Structure 1
Amino acid sequence: MPGLMQAAGPALRILGSGCHHPARRLPSSDFDTQLGLAPGTSEAATGVAWRGVADTGETASWMAARAAQAALSAAGIGGDALDAIVSTCAVMEQPIPCQAALVQRALGLGDSGIPAFDVNATCLGFLVALDLVAAGIASGRYRRVLVVASELPSRGLRADDPLTAPLFGDGAAALVLGAAAPGEDSALLAWRMETYADSADACRIRGGGTRIAPGDPTHRDIDPDVYRFEMDGPATFRLAGRRLPRLLERLLASAGVGLDAIDCVVPHQASGGGLDRIVRALRLPEARVVRILAEHGNQVAASLPHALHHAIVEGRLQRGQTCLLLGTGAGLSLAGAVLRY
């Protein structure tokens, strides 16, 4: 069976959360003008009205550090109290070193020795990190771990693509995770991930790695768009619609709860149409579904932790309540978690 964690999982607790919004905000109407579309077309197609766009000085690691500082403040601890720093970005600021190391330095902890490493599962990075950190905390290896996602998709989109250019937004989110203290019932009740790599080409960036490397003379005349994001939206949605219901059924069974016991649903903010289809296909309680897509766009790996942070600060998820985290990512992968906050 694909990756599965049984109920009564690790006593994991979210100690604090934070986010960073880029200084500049771009309306979808700008894309209508640039692409020669009728007013309102981009927003109708994507579900996004506004998104953040990072300025030159807002690097991924700098934005991550800002979100991390907010999460540490909410947790009431300093960075020197961390046992690990995990970055869950889909596209790093640079190939080497890992982005977590750059975040550590941006936090002023560059001489701390705190372990720092990346987890890359594209849009599902936070969910994968959640499972890994929970296991580390349960084993006693960690006490407090910073998980951060910081993305600048605006740097890797085709400006002439009406489906992706208006969809994505820059931003960062962070959470401090720790062990629940005696008497606290916070826990990761269940976790599940499935990957169907026959559809790996549905979401991809072909260039930039060792197969199509920048500067390689054998690729001198290659189309520069090979280094930009490509997505077959219909194929992705078809796979999600076919596979997610069964994944959700198994996930809830593992957690020992029914959908009616879920107080808050935090999905990956993929697109307006994608969110609508998932809500209908899975019969999710619409009033409990957290949506921040219209104001921020699809923030890739930062999407899920940002939406979770929003649910916490807005009071939509309160202590003792149960939250369903759910999403899809390149791979193609699907994943979910049931968390008692």
Structure 2
Amino acid sequence: MQPIPLKICGTGSYLPRRILTSEEIDARLGWRPGTCHSLYGIKTRHVADDEETTSAMAAGAALQAMEMAGCGPRDIDLIIGACGVMEQPIPSTAVLVQDRLGLGRSGIPAWDVNATCLGFLKGMDVAAMHIQTGRAKRVLVFSSDIASVGLDWGHPEAAAIFGDGAAAVVLEAGEGDSALLAMGFETYSQGRDACVLAAGGTRVNPVRGMQTGEDRFRMDGQKAFRVASRYLPRFLRRLLLKSEVGLDRLDCVIPHQASAQSLNHAIQNLLLGAERVVNIFAQHGNQIAASIPTALDHAVRSGRLKRGDHALLIGTSAGISLGGSVVRF
């Protein structure tokens, strides 16, 4: 693919006020102190309260991103929501965020894409195509997820590691060397039952009745890991080949914070030095679609990702899907 002149002008993130510690999780599950941290590598995660809705968190992250980009809400001409779980089925979360940004009478297009944990990467991909074709000049892409409302504490493998939060970016046509160098996405539906939330659509809903547990997220972490790890090395090789950027030229690797196991696997087996990998899992947990852009915002604000650097954004999602992009920041 030809590089797309694209600049990430601003990043922002929002973390709910309440912090849930691994010690609190131990107490809730009747475990010995230190068990949660030992098993899952997580120390803290954030949990949204009733006022911190999906759209409220997204708007907070969006304002941060716009402040960094030096623009305001009315300077945006496209809003793309890329949440793993929407605030409500209809209308889209992007519509709710448009309203929260004071743009209810603006006519600015606002709609959602959904690729669960990889939603942000697909949102950025769609934004890049709109910018490349001249259909948009400045695009806001946000991801916001509240995992805590759908967790089944009878299955702590999933319940213990998910956190809430939101993040956003402002994208514009590239200036200087800034560019999207490559984008890749693959789906292997042999793993479709590894990560499931059955309720909320037309098949399982309150009107027709739900069986116990269908309104809670369930995950077979080992199966998801096996399917993803089987295809990830080949996927990464192809992505880097398309980008014409080798592993040795990557300045910053920003992975989906799926689990401590997956991050360690990326560092050890894919020959990515720990110093190049942004790892905030212990403090944030798995924030679904908000995971990658939150890690991106952390990298930018901490100085780990600087102008001119090459960055790899990569992850997996329910499906099982693999996704990644290489950018020159």
Distance 1:271 1:151 in 2: 16
Distance 1:69 1:166 in 2: 30
**Which sits farther off after the overlay, 41-50 or 134-143?**
41-50
Aligned to 1:3: none
Residue number among 302, 309, 312 corresponding to 2:290 in the alignment? 302
Aligned to 1:129: 123
Pairing of 1:251-266 with structure 2 (within 5 A): 251-266=239-254
Distance 1:213 1:240 in 2: 30
Residue number among 73, 81, 90 corresponding to 1:79 in the alignment? 73
Aligned to 2:306: 318
Distance 1:45 1:243 in 2: 25
Pairing of 1:192-271 with structure 2 (within 5 A): 192-216=184-208, 219=209, 222-223=211-212, 225-271=213-259
CA offsets, 1:185-206, max 9 Å, x none?
A: 0000001010011211111101
Residues 45, 163 of structure 1: 8 Å contact kept = no
SS in 2 for 1:337: strand
What letter corresponds to residue 205 of structure 2 in structure 1? A
CA offsets, 1:2-48, max 9 Å, x none?
A: xxxx2x41100001011111011110111111111111111222221
Q: CA deviation at 1:52?
A: 0.6
Distance 2:140 2:87 in 1: 18
Is 2:18 aligned against 1:24? yes
Distance 1:13 1:99 in 2: 24
Residues 228, 320 of structure 2: 8 Å contact kept = no
What letter corresponds to residue 124 of structure 1 in structure 2? L
SS in 2 for 1:108: coil
TM-score (ref. length: structure 2)? 0.98
What letter corresponds to residue 187 of structure 1 in structure 2? A
CA offsets, 1:71-116, max 9 Å, x none?
A: 1111000110111001110111111000000010111111111100
CA offsets, 1:130-185, max 9 Å, x none?
A: 1111111111111100000111000000122221111011111000001013xx10
Distance 1:151 1:315 in 2: 25
Q: Which runs of 5+ in 1 are unaligned?
A: 1-5
CA offsets, 1:231-259, max 9 Å, x none?
A: 11001111121100000000000001110
CA offsets, 1:293-339, max 9 Å, x none?
A: 11111100000000001000000000001000110000110011100
TM-score (ref. length: structure 1)? 0.95
Residue number among 150, 153, 164 corresponding to 1:159 in the alignment? 153
Residues 241, 281 of structure 1: 8 Å contact kept = no
Aligned to 1:60: 54
Is 2:275 aligned against 1:281? no
Residues 244, 282 of structure 1: 8 Å contact kept = no
Q: CA deviation at 1:268?
A: 0.1
What letter corresponds to residue 194 of structure 2 in structure 1? A
Q: Which runs of 5+ in 2 are unaligned?
A: none
Aligned to 2:110: 116
What letter corresponds to residue 279 of structure 1 in structure 2? I
Residues 269, 291 of structure 1: 8 Å contact kept = yes
Distance 2:207 2:37 in 1: 37
Q: Report % sequence identity.
A: 52
